[in-house]
Amino acid sequence: MKVLIPTQSHDVHAKAVASALATKGHEAVLWYASDLPTQQTLSLSYKGSSEAQLELQGVDINHHGAFDVVWLRRPASPVLPSTMHPGDHTFAVQEWRSVLEGVWDTLSRTGFWINPRSAARRAESKPAQLAAARRVGLDVPPTLLSNDPQRIRSFIRANEPTQTIYKPFATSQWDLGDGAAAYLFTAVVDEDALPSDEILRLTPGIFQPRLAKDHELRVTFMGDHVFVAKIGSQAVDGAEVDWRIKTRSVATEVGVLPAGVEAACRALMRTFGLVFACFDFIVTPENNHVFLEVNQMGQFLWLEELAPEMPLLDAFCELLIQGRPDFQWRAPRPNEGLRFKDFCDEAVHTAIDERHVDRPHVFLLPDEPRGDAAA
């Protein structure tokens, strides 16, 4: 069995999964598309009536043929030389986008995908998530998606005395220089904290009432199997609004998901065509389970680090090996089966490899305006 894992060179979790699969006698091909075109070549050939053949040649990769399974982990784009003429650069970007679309379309016709590319695209949309969650019966908080300053201010006033939280549509960072970065997390906002209307209207945001929390849940679906992690976000200063700020400090243990909520989650996955997904819920003091979002390719092995009784690596490898959502799996006994701790150190050690072209970080803008931006 051969698994293709499109990802980034510093992806510790992908490296751990690849090593774990190797111990089971299966081959995993880590594809760092950011190595294209300077460190890697790609060919797609058609001959006679046979299926198209994909060939990848470069640092740590020498592949020709088909794959049984594609784990669409963290696909990257080619990184072109900065010295290219601007017009040539634009042309090359268009050409690479076209050929990679053809590669994905060709690969998608065979094998088992986690997740199917079309499903992944649909599920990445926050508006689509909220609409679908409401349709399947999940409890969704009142939500405003807007760049209209008046609508935003009215929404905040209508929530009073309850506070309002702001969330971005995508994880973002600002480059502060000297290796430092500022990250954008979920935050409490009020009218006094808002910028001027001219600035507020420049980008849309997600606004919701701040809900009282007893705890939170991170629910990971792998085909027919589900893992529920209870996250004690309210017991740690700084984690109350967004536990990601203090992930390592927050108590994490096996949790419980009501049967009706689980059934609604499975209906949402069917709506999008997903075979893997991570759901986030608030559990209120009244034990209401409020849907926040679903991440079709969320991180999950960190849960096993914090709660070793959850054998997520073992289950996920079986999903890949068997290549079907109804894969057969039984939780191994303690200290048996594939454990993330047994592969983590090696994966971390090899995460920084200067032979590969690193995928550019998603920085929005330098913290200080430069050039025309200053005007």
Q: What is the pTM of this model?
A: 0.91
Is pLDDT of 341 > 90? yes
pLDDT at 334: 85
* Strand order across the 69-71 sheet: 27-31, 2-6, 69-71, 112-114
The CATH code of domain 121-125+212-349 reads 3.30.470.20
Domain ranges of the chain: 2-114, 121-125+212-349, 143-209
CA dist 305 and 280 (Å) reads: 18
pLDDT in tens, 258-280: 999 999 999 999 999 999 999 99
Q: What angle do CA 302, 306, 311 make, to 5 degrees?
A: 70
pLDDT of residue 360: 67
Higher pLDDT, 190 or 47: 190
Spatial CA neighbour of 339 closest among 359, 312, 318? 312
Asked if 155 contacts 163 with a C-beta cutoff of 8 angstroms, the reply is no
Describe the crossing of helices 12-23 and 341-349 by its angle, rounded to 10 degrees.
Answer: 120
Tell me the pLDDT tens digit for each residue of 157-181. Answer: 999 898 999 999 887 777 777 777 7
Q: Is the pLDDT of residue 365 over 70?
A: no
- The alpha helices in the chain, defined as continuous H runs, are 12-23, 86-107, 117-123, 126-135, 149-159, 197-200, 259-272, 301-306, 312-322, 341-349
Phi, then psi, of 279 in degrees rounded to 5? -105, 145
Q: Higher model confidence: residue 183 or residue 254?
A: 254
Whether 223 shows a pLDDT value over 90: the answer reads yes
Specify the pLDDT at position 65.
86
What average pLDDT does this structure show over 329-354? Answer: 90
Alpha carbon 87 to chain centroid, angstroms:
33
What is the per-residue pLDDT across 98-121, written as a single tens digit (0 to 9) for each? 999 999 988 888 889 999 999 999
User: Mind listing the pLDDT tens digit for each residue in 279-294?
Assistant: 999 999 999 999 999 9
Q: What digits encode the pLDDT tens for the residues 292-326?
A: 999 999 999 999 999 999 999 999 999 999 999 99
pLDDT in tens, 14-45: 999 999 999 999 999 999 999 999 999 999 98
Question: If phi over 0 gives left and psi between -120 and 50 gives alpha, with beta otherwise, what is residue 287?
Answer: left
Q: Quickly tell me which residue has 């984690």 as its tokens.
A: 239
Question: Residue 84 carries which DSSP code?
Answer: S
What average pLDDT does the structure give for the chain?
A: 91
